[in-house]
Amino acid sequence: MDMALLRLKVDIKVDTPLFVLGGGSAVVGLDAFYKEGRLYLVDITSPKLMATATAGAGLEELIKLASSNPAEYAYRSFPSPQVQDKTEVKIGVVPPASTIKGLLRTAYLWLALTQNHKLANDFLDTVANALNRGVHPKAVGSAGEALVFRRELEGGRRWDIFNSVVVREKGAKAEFCVYKVDVYKRTSVMATFYAVGLAPGSELEYEVVVRSRPREDGRSDAVLTEQDLKNALRLFSEELAAFERARGLYAPQCDAVRLGFGAGRRWKTVLSLIEKMRPYLFKRLEGYMSHRLGRIWDDITVKMAEGKPVGWACYEWK
């Protein structure tokens, strides 16, 4: 059986603080304590802390004991600016493999639509039809994506070509820090929060495996090529980095993508392509999403940490 596997590696180097907020949260003065440039996470019910406290100690005594020497009782700590008591701090994690697979899928969708004018028009027609039918916001692009990713198999079965793609986390040199994140609306700060994110310079490695599709005769068909994935990510990266620069925002001088919380709607969709090909549909879509979500759905708000938009990372295929 000819079950060919394509194996690639993609290295990602964090350029601006990057947040994938999958680690819960902590409250300073309750289960997190700031001291001398570090934020310490403490489990108030940990056996070590309970053993040190007096018998029958209440929450107030446990908190006082933990705050007196947080390094002694912490299960994790991060470099941090000073954070006031009662402040919630969201905890970030290394981007899971699913984040990278989602990025590759969106990039391939962009590539496929730019290469095939009829397919692009059919995709846009399905988006317009979804708006006419009043579908759930998450389903607006589903029928159009099916035109690109779904294949009809023998016996009428349907198959998504990205089922052939597997992404695995292979290693990370990750440094996490606490950051003050400002939410800008144009030039004004509308909100501020604190979060633990990956620091610039952190390095992540992923393996991308693409399986061929087996045939009934025992052989297999290549579904996606190495060049498909590389071209897709390059084109997507170039187009959206140019969009960010055009609106006066920072973008690194490398093959770059934005990942995680705060990356913005354009890095998770083909919205920019819709705007380019059918501006009137883009406006309709913005109005529809704003109405259904109960908030303004636009590009005006930008999340910044250390003076730059969050989530930028440089990538390199290996």
Q: What is the mean pLDDT of each run of 10 residues along the chain (318 residues)?
A: 75 98 94 96 86 76 89 95 96 97 97 97 97 96 94 71 94 97 94 98 97 72 89 98 96 97 95 97 97 93 96 97
The whole-number pLDDT of residue 271 equals 97
- Greatest Cα-to-Cα distance within the chain, rounded to the nearest angstrom: 74
The whole-number pLDDT of residue 215 equals 66
d(CA 287, CA 205): 39
The whole-number pLDDT of residue 156 equals 66
The whole-number pLDDT of residue 53 equals 72
The whole-number pLDDT of residue 107 equals 98
The whole-number pLDDT of residue 111 equals 97
**Would the pTM of this model clear 0.85, i.e. be above it?**
yes
The whole-number pLDDT of residue 46 equals 83
